[in-house]
Structures are given as structure tokens and as C-alpha cells.
Amino acid sequence: MELYDFLEFAPFNQMRERMGTDQFGQFELFDPSRHLTGEERSVLARQGLPLPRSLLSRLLDYCLCYKNSRVAIIDEGVLHLAQCDRFPDRDQYRAGTSMRAFEATSTVCSSCLQTLNYQGYDEQKARKEYHNRRVLERFSLEAFWSDYVLYPLNRDREKVKPIGRL
């Protein structure tokens, strides 16, 4: 039995053309226990979502995630992006994906930036003091999501770990 080479299979290529794509992708069956619903994505972006510790995870790069999306949490006016050494030890967190979700003016956690080495942020090197201050002052969550893909995450490929107690 000879298998079709679907890259050369005319009906397949015609279907892709009708769909308006020339890119190949991957398909993953939707599982609401692993994937964000449209409503969850909207709530995370607009008003934030209260999450118990058991539902919040971290990726191998220490970024925080919920289901198949990176998230940020806010704690006492500080925005956390990663499980850093100042990560709050709580049973419940408020997670979001935009500053709009957090309502109050907040500052980004410098320890999270250090953990992620975001834009070369490094508090260990005195010569980087000016650079670090500029990264903190210019930080925007939108720019952060352009460097760290917000959604969708492939949980099987990303290796998600539970948030541990510090």
C-alpha cells in the first residue's frame, strides 16, 4: 500500500487554499480541563480570574501558566510573571493576561525579571544598574507577551510543573 504525499495531494492543497492558508500547523483536540475556553480567555484579559494554587502552574522557564496560557498574577500591587524567590505563598491568586485585568496601578516584580533574565535584566551586576532601571520603567505586559508567547501553549511540549511552596 502506498501512502499519499499530502504535500503534493491536489485536493488537500485546494482545501488549504480555500481556507486561506499556505502554512502547515498542528491540531489538538479541545479539552476544557487543559485548554482555555473563549470565555476564560476573555475574563483573563478583561477582569482577571481568581485561581486556586492547585490550578496555577509554571513552565520550565519559570513563567506562570494556567491551562494552555501564560498568565501574570498580582499580589499587593506587584505583578508576578514567574515563580521567583519573592513569589507570594497563597492558596488563591488573581491571574490575568492584561493590565486591564488588574485594575490598579502595579509595578512588575524585579525578582521575576531576574528569574527570567528578561531583556538582560540582572541585579547581580552593578554595571547593569542603569539598564535594569530602564527595563523596570519601560516594562509593559503587552511587550512581555510578544517575547513570551501568551497563548496557546502546547502543554505536552512545554513541560508544566505545579507551583511549589517556597
Rounded mean pLDDT, 103-126: 91
How confident is residue 150, by pLDDT bands cut at 50, 70 and 90?
A: very high
What total of structural domains would you count in the chain? 1
Cell of 159: 513541560
Question: Which one is predicted more confidently, 7 or 129?
Answer: 129
Is residue 88 situated within a structural domain? yes
**40 within domain boundaries:** yes
- pTM equals 0.79
The pLDDT score that the predictor gives to residue 140 is 93
- Structural domain containing residue 60: 35-109+141-153
Q: Quick check: 157 pLDDT over 70?
A: no
Residue 164 is assigned to a structural domain of this protein: no
- The pLDDT of 137-162, averaged and rounded, is 86
Who contacts 88 (Cβ-Cβ below 8 Å, separation ≥6)? Answer: 73, 75, 76, 80
Within a domain: residue 4? no
Q: Which residue has the higher pLDDT, 34 or 56?
A: 56
Smallest CA-to-CA distance from 63 within 84, 85, 37 is with 84
Q: pLDDT over 90 for what percent of the chain?
A: 63
Is 82 contained in some domain? yes
